[in-house]
Amino acid sequence: MDTTAPLPRQRARVLLALALAGSTTLAGLSGPASAARPDLVTVVVSGAGGVAEAVRAAGGTVLDALPLVGGVIAHLPRGARLGPALRVVPDRPMSVAGTTAPSGPASTVRATLGLGAPAGEGSGQTIAVVDTGVADVPDLAGRLTHVDVTQDGTGDGYGHGTFVAGLVAGDGSSSGGEYAGVAPGASVLDVRVAHDDGSSSLVLVLKGLQAVAAHPEVDVLNLSLSSGSPLPWQLDPLTQALDALWRRGVTVVVPAGNDGDRGAGSISSPGVDPTLITVGGLDEHGTAARGDDTIAPWSSQGPAPQGVDKPDLAAPGAHLVSLRAPGSVVDVAHPTSEVGTDYFVGSGTSFSTAVTSGSVAALLARRPQLRPDRVKALLTGTAYDAPALATGGLDLRAALTANARGDDGRGGDQGNDRGERAPGSRKAWQAFVDALIAGDHAAAASSWADLGPAARNWAASSWAALTPEARNWAASSWAAGTGWTDDGIDWAARNWAARNWAARNWADSDWSARNWSARNWAARNWSDGTWTARNWSARNWSSDDWSARNWSARNWSASTWSAYWG
């Protein structure tokens, strides 16, 4: 059935956002939600303030406010120029990415996670499923709330969101509990961001995330969609919105993607964001025994752009059985995938993501005081190893039974945003900071490499935000947890991050056509074996909608970036 997209690494480059400091020209930009008038384009504008006024001054129209990213959705005239403090990103298609998975034995997902029969896991938690919609089916009865930003009405004309919601929180009532989801006691906020043919866009998804922000009861957000954005996560309004929700206490889970055939470095946005939980796909080969588990060949591999260590973990994603949306595009197109009258079989990292989101809800039901960083540390720290696994497999039982201190159950510290110690040795961190303060960039780079993946990812999370408030938080939190000086941390965040990782991390090898090529949107992602191109509507992926001329190479050309990378 469905799979999703790739993932990312290190946040020491937070000031990358400054790469667009300079007026942005909109010549040639367009997107799937472009205005009816050919002289207008639909964009997301964000910046330091006065965004709406700047849009109007340029002859544009503000369509919606996006407080999550400090911006607006707008129509702007082609060729309009905005000030140097504003960032303009055109609307673009977003998708549920599919894969062709060979037939095989059905997943033993709950047993693989260490769970028994459904026991109301996730009770009291609310999971936002931002997707194609969720059908009103018996396994979700009484626990489903609908929000629609498409203006098409509620329901799931495509069939993807219903399948995801079943893995997250279905109670298995139509199968005597056999096909229950991971958190059958949780509630689902269905945020529909796609039309009946499955088509969606950046603007629709951002509106959906803004709707999630209006529901403070949401504890977990499942986004089994992919944008494939070529923008670095520091600049992409999608990842910025997801980071904002994370900082508000919502644990965000996203897929690694289904481009495993491309090999290493195939993870894409929003999975590239170092803060979020990015999930790869496991094939259990029909058994609950973990020793034979493998990473599914279609699951995207890390590292993500900028060297971010992704995925964070892997979860069952092959041959999963979950809820069908009767009469939906997927249901009609694949009748042989039906299981009984109420269920369906599917594969992909979209569904590994859903399994993980349900696990987060189950964990939070047991330990509601956990913040997103601690949730991530627990899940990754208790993941199990298997001979063929490149990353740990999700072990929910281990996470649920880890000691009450909230660590990984093995006595190790994990850093988070509560002022706790960073992972890694104090000596290694001190060497890193000493090198930064001394201005010894070579020594800083060497020390950075010596810190190890856990420490680098912690630093990435700590330096994630681009706002002055977040930088101040990073300095005070780091200093409080380690005794280091504010001056050293501030120097690191402001002066070292952007300049010294510039050429190496944004060289052609890391920012090449493979990250923004037609291969990322190829028909192989919509092959007939599961989700076909015709079901997702070829017009959404045509050269007319996503061509170089529409994204306009000159707007993201070397001239735009080179000034900032020296």
Cα 429 from Cα 484, distance rounded (Å): 10
The answer to whether residue 152 is catalytic is: no
**Among the options 299, 350, 359, 461, which is catalytic?**
350
pLDDT averaged over 10-residue windows placed end to end, the chain, 566 residues: 35 25 32 62 91 95 96 94 90 74 81 95 98 97 98 95 98 96 98 95 97 98 91 94 97 94 90 96 93 93 91 95 95 92 94 98 96 95 91 96 54 36 68 72 78 70 43 42 38 38 31 27 29 28 29 30 26
What would the pLDDT profile of 533-556 be if each residue is shown by its tens digit? Answer: 222 322 222 222 233 223 333 233
Question: Is the backbone peptide bond immediately before 311 cis, with ω within 30 degrees of 0?
Answer: yes
Q: What is the mean pLDDT of the chain?
A: 75
Cα–chain center distance at 128:
14
**Among the options 34, 46, 91, 160, which is catalytic?**
160
**Among the options 131, 156, 309, 331, which is catalytic?**
131
> Which candidate, 411, 422, 416, 419, places its Cα nearest to that of 452?
422
The b/e string for 116-155 (b: 16+ C-beta within 10 A; e otherwise) is: eebeebbeebbbbbbbbbbbebebbeebbeebbbbeeebb
Cα 509 from Cα 228, distance rounded (Å): 17
* pLDDT (0 to 100) of residue 428: 75
The answer to whether residue 160 is catalytic is: yes
Residue 388 phi/psi, 5-degree rounding, is -100, 10
* pLDDT (0 to 100) of residue 424: 67
What is the pTM assigned to this prediction? 0.71
The answer to whether residue 146 is catalytic is: no
* pLDDT (0 to 100) of residue 167: 98
